[in-house]
Amino acid sequence: MSSNHRTRGRQRGQGTVEYSLLLALVAALVIGGMVALSPVIGASYNAINSVIDSAIGIDNGGGNAPGPTNTPPTSDWITTIGYYTTTGNGANGSSTGFCRYAVPQASVSLGPNQGTISQFVSDGSLTLSVTGATGYADTGFYVPLGTLGSLAGTGYSLSANGPVATNLYFDSNHDGQFFAWGDNDCWTGPGGDLYGLGPSGTGTVAVTDSSTFNMMSPSSGTYTVAELASGTAVAGVDANTPVAVWVGMTLGNGGSASVTFTSVP
């Protein structure tokens, strides 16, 4: 074998060794970089997860939620709910006891040794419960329905497995909300608005233009939906007045009860 051939062989062997060492060095640098950046990658991953969880309404603790809640509503009819409400002796520290919440509440105290209220969403239904109330208590929710004129034309119905009641709220001063609420979202007064107590029943309750509502102070009298929409029955109420329907369960003398809704307006 010639000396030139042996020289070329040694050169090829040396090149292979150098290439292998270069690959090993690159691999070591990549692994070292990943180890060094792993805390940053982990933090970024957790931050992305947190953003996603927040967007879809998952509370993993440590947030600033106003109180204990259960799974956010997902059913189409449940997403139309404006606010959930509770009423009782001293509920949420309020002298009126009438408070509202943006999400259903797992447990709301009606006051020391005065019972609790819970609201639970599951599989397209909403269950409202009162436990151990010592005096008047109610729990429910309200749904904006557009104008009184449109309501008079279409009516509404609701379905539940027990006794329910329904009332109408009237945004008489057209300020975009129903009633006045304090910093803790508890009722402070009518705020220039009106309300009427409507039909009650067990199972399915339907409201039409001939259904009657007993208007409360500062208004008074009992009128049909059609009469209220005409604009001649109650000052400040006509076909263009924004309305919301309150639906819920009431216990006039306290006690315990539960009702599950499967549809609302």
pLDDT at residue 16 tops 70 = no
Q: What is the mean pLDDT of the chain?
A: 78
Q: Is the dihedral of CA 26, 32, 36, 38 positive or negative?
A: positive
Predicted local distance difference test score (pLDDT) of residue 244: 95
Q: Are 192 and 233 in contact (CB under 8 A)?
A: no
pLDDT at residue 38 tops 90 = no
Which residue shows structure tokens 């216990």?
251
Predicted local distance difference test score (pLDDT) of residue 20: 66
SS3 237: coil
Predicted local distance difference test score (pLDDT) of residue 247: 93
pLDDT digits (tens, 9 = 90+) for 113-172: 888 999 999 878 899 999 999 888 999 999 999 999 999 999 998 889 998 999 999 999
pLDDT digits (tens, 9 = 90+) for 238-264: 999 999 999 999 998 889 999 999 877
Encoding tokens for residue 3?
């000396």
Average pLDDT over residues 2-17: 50
Give 119-154 as a DSSP string. EEEETTEEEEEEEEESS-EEEEEEEEEEEHHHHHHH
What percent of the chain has a predicted confidence (pLDDT) above 90? 49
Taking the model in full, what pTM does it have? 0.69
Q: What residue ranges do the domains of the chain occupy?
A: 1-64, 78-263
| Strand pairing category for 108-109 and 180-181 | unpaired
Query: Helices (H) and strands (E) in the chain — how many of each?
Result: 3, 14
